[in-house]
């Protein structure tokens, strides 16, 4: 007797096998159009070719959050960053609460998050570098991006204590002098540094002078050293928890999405440029305008 392999054969034909439900829909929210992919295990929000926010149900975790100035995260190619990135997270919260068709999610009161976010910073020599969003925002605002935007808290007790100590030091003092690790910046920033008594006051001054859009250009050579000074060498916490999952967004599902996508968009290429210490920074009182021309 011979047997012929049948790939569609089901041993007990009376028992039907069902694939778990999976949907990909187009969502309109504010002035943005996003693609939302829903399975029983994940909620993913993004554009045509990228998942830019993903909530993983079994681990109760925001697996990743990212924006894109290249249009990867929005169906019409609009740049997504800052508050619009957080808007995608809130769309994920909405579907977590409401589900979709035959997909419903178990009650979840908190989501974990590992803060390893990076931002792209364009320097005056034309090179592009990556910068830690956690350390940048901690230095500018005294708290992390996800603290400010989503009310996140450090997950571990040690992390809570470290952030409390960081904020105290950030608000209360700074060294009498500081090396900004660049010849031009040592000259330009020392004036503002001497005129302020704390890191908080100094960073507020820099934001007012240079503008929040271009502040990374000024900070990049020295921001990690400043963080190390404030923490006395301790690491800032990277494991966070979001306990307020309420949202006031009300996305409109306007259709089904058809087309391929992948989880990571292609990263832009970077070049190192000249040495950071000798990189030339434009010296001008009209700092915001001059930096805009460089960007």
174 and 287 inside one domain:
yes
Regarding whether 272 and 259 lie in a shared domain, the answer is no
Q: Report the predicted TM-score, pTM, of the whole model to 2 decimal places.
A: 0.80
User: Could you give the CA distance from residue 95 to residue 38 in angstroms, rounded to a whole number?
Assistant: 9
**138/278 same-domain check:** yes
Question: How confident is the model over 85-124, as pLDDT tens digits?
Answer: 999 999 999 999 999 999 999 999 999 999 999 999 999 9
Could you tell me if 234 and 138 are in contact, meaning their C-beta atoms sit under 8 angstroms apart?
no
Beta bridge mates, 111: 242
Tell me if 151 is assigned to some domain: no
- Contact between residue 154 and residue 237 where contact means Cβ atoms under 8 Å apart: yes
Q: Same domain, yes or no, for 23 and 119?
A: no
Chain centroid, CA 31 distance in Å? 20
Number of domains into which the chain is organized: 2
pLDDT in tens, 251-293: 999 998 875 443 333 333 333 344 666 557 665 444 554 554 4
Same domain, 183 and 260: no
**Could you tell me if 247 and 158 are in contact, meaning their C-beta atoms sit under 8 angstroms apart?**
no
For 218, the token pair is 């000024």
Q: Give the structural domain span for 254.
A: 19-109+245-264
């Amino acid at each position: 007797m011979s047997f012929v392999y049948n790939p569609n054969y089901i041993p007990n034909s009376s028992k039907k096998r069902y694939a778990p439900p999976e949907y990909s829909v187009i969502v309109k929210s504010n002035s943005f159009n996003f693609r939302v992919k829903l399975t029983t295990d994940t909620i993913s929000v993004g554009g045509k070719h990228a998942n830019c926010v993903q909530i993983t149900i079994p681990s109760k975790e925001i697996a990743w959050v990212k924006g894109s100035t290249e249009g990867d995260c929005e169906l019409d190619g609009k740049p997504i960053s800052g508050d619009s990135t957080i808007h995608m997270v809130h769309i994920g919260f909405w579907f977590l609460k409401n589900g979709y068709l035959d997909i419903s999610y178990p009650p979840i009161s908190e989501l974990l998050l590992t803060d390893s976010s990076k931002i792209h910073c364009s320097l005056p020599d034309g090179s592009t570098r990556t910068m830690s969003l956690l350390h940048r925002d901690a230095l500018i605002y005294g708290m992390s991006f996800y603290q400010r935007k989503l009310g996140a808290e450090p997950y571990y007790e040690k992390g809570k204590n470290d952030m409390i100590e960081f904020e105290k030091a950030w608000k209360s003092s700074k060294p009498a002098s500081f090396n900004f690790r660049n010849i031009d910046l040592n000259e330009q920033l020392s004036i503002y540094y001497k005129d302020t008594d704390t890191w908080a006051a100094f960073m507020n001054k820099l934001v007012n002078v240079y503008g929040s859009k271009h502040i990374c250009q000024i900070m990049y050579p020295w921001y990690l050293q400043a963080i190390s000074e404030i923490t006395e060498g301790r690491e800032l916490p990277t494991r966070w928890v979001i306990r307020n999952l309420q949202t006031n967004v009300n996305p409109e599902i306007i259709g089904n999405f058809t087309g391929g996508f992948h989880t990571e968009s292609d990263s832009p290429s970077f070049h190192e440029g000249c040495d950071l210490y000798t990189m030339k920074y434009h010296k001008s009182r009209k700092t915001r305008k001059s930096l805009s021309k460089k960007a």
